[in-house]
Amino acid sequence: MVSKLRIGVITSTHGLKGEVKVYPTTDDAARYKKLKEVILEAKRETRELTVERVSFFKQLVIVKFKGLDRIEDVERYKGAELWVTRENAVPLEENEYYIADLIGLPVISDTGERLGVIRDVLQTGANDVYEVEREGKKPLLLPVTRECVLDVDLLKGQVLVHVLDGLLDL
């Protein structure tokens, strides 16, 4: 399991008082309201920052960090990533998983066949879709539904699935 989770990328500055625009890489941008600390990873710098204020503009989050009070203080952070430690991440509900924990997990069918590994999780709105990388074949797209995904076992490090009729033909 990963020890920290990426929650956003700074896209640009906002105003003159040290605020930045952040593209959230979490499924619920409202989680930023409860955020107290982040780890900023820039090209040549990694540092912990305290969140002073959060607001929202369209699909972006506007963040003000304590001690960074001028545009000159934050300009160099364009493109920097924001991370939280697992301990500071929003708790998950039952049957929810961090995408970072799923990437790379082997996918096994209920017939015992190793189908491949999860390469990505596509968030479609209705339900997520696991993109399974298969050796020498097109990726397999598996809808994350009760009928298809039978078990996610992070301790065993695998995902057990039932391949619905026709999915292997796509």
CB-CB contact of 82 with 9 (8 Å) = yes
Quickly list DSSP for 43-97: SS-EEEEEEEEEEEETTEEEEEETT--SHHHHGGGTT-EEEEEGGGSPPPPTT--
Boundaries of every domain in the chain: 4-88, 99-169
C-alpha to C-alpha distance for 114 and 132, rounded to whole angstroms:
11
Task: Express each pLDDT in 88-110 by its tens digit.
Answer: 887 888 888 888 899 999 999 99
CATH number, span 4-88: 2.40.30.60
69 within 8 A of 97, measured Cβ to Cβ: no
Q: Quote the pLDDT of residue 92.
A: 82
pLDDT reported for residue 28: 80
Laid out side by side, the sheet with 158-161 consists of 140-143, 128-133, 114-123, 106-109, 158-161, 149-153
Low-confidence ranges of the chain (pLDDT < 70): 1-2, 170
- CATH architecture for segment(s) 99-169: Roll (2.30)
Pairing of β 140-143 and β 149-153: unpaired
Q: Looking at residue 2, what is its pLDDT?
A: 63
- On whether the pTM is more than 0.75, the answer is no
